[in-house]
Amino acid sequence: MTPDWDCLFRARKGDEAAWRELAECFQPRLTALALVITRSATAAEDIVQETFLRAHRSRLSNTDGSLGGYLGTIAYRLAVKESQHARRQTETFTRDAADDTSNPLERLLTSERDRLVAAAVASLDDCHRDVLLLRFYGDHSYDQIARLLQIPVGTVKSRMFHAVRSCRELLCQQGVLNATYR
């Protein structure tokens, strides 16, 4: 058994000096390896910590190779996995951002319109607001709303008509909708 492996086994038994020796010997190379792959200093530090943790917890059956090679393999695999994970997150974020309106003015107008629509819905009395929310935001049918609220289907339809009309009138007054929508 090489002195490096012996140092690892001492460290696994709680020898703090052995841990410091392992860190001084292997941490710079492992950090550099992880940094090159992940391009993130934070991720590289985490990977090195995880590498030492896995070396501490692993059941070693073969110590013929070098400890540096063993730790390097662990760090490499963790770094590749982290890099792939980060790439997927970036692709998802990029896709989501691309779906978003890229024009800041359009984003502002959309958020303002959404705020005004929410305010119009909030201005309704409870019985009209509940029907509207269950239909448009809860995606319930008129029959389902009638059962939930324990009212006749005709009442649901009447409340929906009046709720939509009230919101439409308020939004027209605020200039969110054209008067042609009345």
The residues spanned by each domain of the chain are: 3-99, 104-181
State the Cα–Cα distance between residues 4 and 20, nearest whole angstrom. Answer: 12
Q: Provide the pLDDT confidence category of residue 181 given band limits of 50, 70 and 90.
A: low
57 contact partners, CB below 8 Å, separation of at least 6 = none
Topology match between the domains 3-99 and 104-181: no
State the Cα–Cα distance between residues 177 and 108, nearest whole angstrom. Answer: 17
pTM of the predicted model, to two decimals? 0.49
Computed over every residue of the chain, the mean pLDDT equals 83
pLDDT digits (tens, 9 = 90+) for 81-134: 888 887 776 655 545 544 555 567 777 677 777 788 888 888 999 889 888 877
For residue 180, the 8-state DSSP code is G
Looking at domain 3-99, does it have CATH number 1.10.1740.10? yes
Question: SS3 of 138, please?
Answer: coil
CATH dotted code for 104-181: 1.10.10.10
Question: SS3 of 176, please?
Answer: coil
Cβ–Cβ < 8 Å for 122, 130 = no
Q: Angle at Cα 174 formed by Cα 169 and Cα 180, nearest 5°?
A: 50
Neighbouring C-beta atoms of residue 164, cutoff 10 Å: 16
Give the residue-averaged pLDDT of 4-30: 92
